[in-house]
Structures are given as C-alpha cells and as structure tokens.
Amino acid sequence: MARRDFVLGLGAVAGSLLTGRGLCQGGVAGQTDLRVVAGVRIVDTRIAKAADDLSKSVSPRYLYNHAMRTYLFGALIGRAAGATYDEELFFLASILHDLGLTERFAGAKPFEIEGAFAADAFLRAQGLLTAKAELVWDAIAMHPLAISQHKQSEIKLVASGAAADVVGAGLDAVSSLDRDAVLRAYPRLGFKARFVSTCAEVIRQHPGGAKGTFMRDIGERKVPNFHVSNICDAIDEAPFGE
C-alpha cells in the first residue's frame, strides 16, 4: 500500500460518488449541549454516548474535536452525495477512529489497527452485535487507506470526514456556512501541529507500525533515525533458491 494513501486515497474517497438516500440524524453531542451542528444531528443512543465518553476520556481535546469533525464533515459530504448509511455505526466509527493514537491504546501494530481492536472490544462489551462491531472495525482500520473508497458508505464516510479535516479533501462539497458551524462547535485548537506531533510520538515508540500509511511520511519528516523494513529486502531474503 502506498504510504501517501491518506492524502491520495482519502482525497479520492471524499470526491467519490456515494449513491442512495438519507441524511445523518441523531441527538446530543458529547462536548456541549449542542444537538445539531450544520444541520447534522449527533447520534445519542446509549452506545453512542458511551463511545463518546470513551473518546473524550482518553483523547486530548484537540483529538476529540477532530473525531467529532470527522463525523460532521463526513455526514455533510454524505449529504451532498445523497448517501444512505447506518447513522449509529458511522458515528461510532468516527468518534473512535483515532483511539490508536492515544496513550491508552497506542501499541506495536499500526495505529489504525490498534484503534480498531480497542473499539471492537469496547463496543462488544457494550452489547453491539458482532456484524455491526465488525463493520466499525473495518471503518477504523481502513480509514487511512485508499481501499476505503471501495467499501460500504459507513467506511467511506469515516475516511472522507477524516480526510476533509486533515488535508481539506472534499470540502468543496461542504458550504462555507456549514464548515464554519462545524469549526465553531468543535474548534481545531492547533490541530495541524499537534496531530503531527502526536503521530510522531507514536512512531517514536512503535516504529514498526508506521510502514503502510501517512504515518511513514511523518516518521521520515519528524522522527530522527526513523527506519522501517523494505519489501525488497524481504523478497531477497525469501527462502527460495532461484
């Protein structure tokens, strides 16, 4: 998988067609008493509130706000495309998609995989059905990858929302009024520098997990002596005598 998938792949996701009908609906936001942001109602089911509480409790505020903006921008991009999707599952995947960048859940696996497993364990403990938990797992695990654009709408929209917030991909589908409303509700709080710094710290601690996504770019730019294995070496060392 190309290491610039987040910029290239998710930019394509944000611009890809999502066919169907329906808008994102929901209820009470976790950060404030906001119930609607830019016309998007925030899901307030029992399990959504529990996931929101988990995200808020383990994430620095800037990262939690990013998770909420991922949901909101993804919903707005989906609305513009006429997407139909399971609103609760989309919210769960959005609000939990960066657990693997938090101190509590970071580990040796790529951050998106660590986050997917953490979310899966939490949601199953909350009683989410296996098939639904698996879709959330996929949405989180695939969100930095180009393959996300070829999957279900919930997966596409998490990737689209994250790409919109990180690199601005797909924001042409969001009106300036809606974008401003999202940013007022969940301010960026120095997101650019703090996100890169957080990713770099995870890479410093777990360099082996930073090979296949945008994390490699951050490692090469921000982490001294960063080095990961190369597939050419693995091919050369394969146990065949040709």
Taking 80 as the threshold, does the pLDDT of residue 69 lie above it? yes
The single residue listed with the structure tokens 């919210």 is 91
- State the pLDDT confidence band at 107, using cuts at 50, 70 and 90: very high
Whether 103 is covered by a domain: the verdict is yes
* Span 46-70, average pLDDT: 98
Highest mean pLDDT among 17-31, 108-122, 213-227: 108-122
Task: Report residue 196 as tokens.
Answer: 């890169």
So what's the pLDDT on residue 180?
97
> What range defines the domain where residue 222 resides?
5-236
So what's the pLDDT on residue 44?
95
- State the pLDDT confidence band at 241, using cuts at 50, 70 and 90: confident
The single residue listed with the structure tokens 């609000």 is 95
What is the CA 153 to chain-centroid distance, rounded? 14
Could you read off the pLDDT of 166-176 as tens digits, one per residue? 999 999 999 99
Among 4-13, 80-89, 178-187, the least confident range? 4-13
Tell me how far apart the alpha carbons of residues 64 and 57 are, in angstroms, rounded to a whole number: 9
The total of structural domains in the chain comes to: 1
Whether 241 is covered by a domain: the verdict is no
User: DSSP labels for 170-223?
Assistant: TGGGS-HHHHHHHHHHS--SSHHHHHHHHHHHHHHH-GGG-SSSHHHHHHHHHS
Q: What percent of the chain has pLDDT over 90?
A: 72
* Span 30-39, average pLDDT: 71
So what's the pLDDT on residue 119?
98
* Span 65-72, average pLDDT: 98
Average pLDDT across the chain, whole number: 87
Q: Give, in degrees to the nearest 5, the angle at Cα 196 between 2 and 217.
A: 25
Whether 242 is covered by a domain: the verdict is no
* Span 216-226, average pLDDT: 90
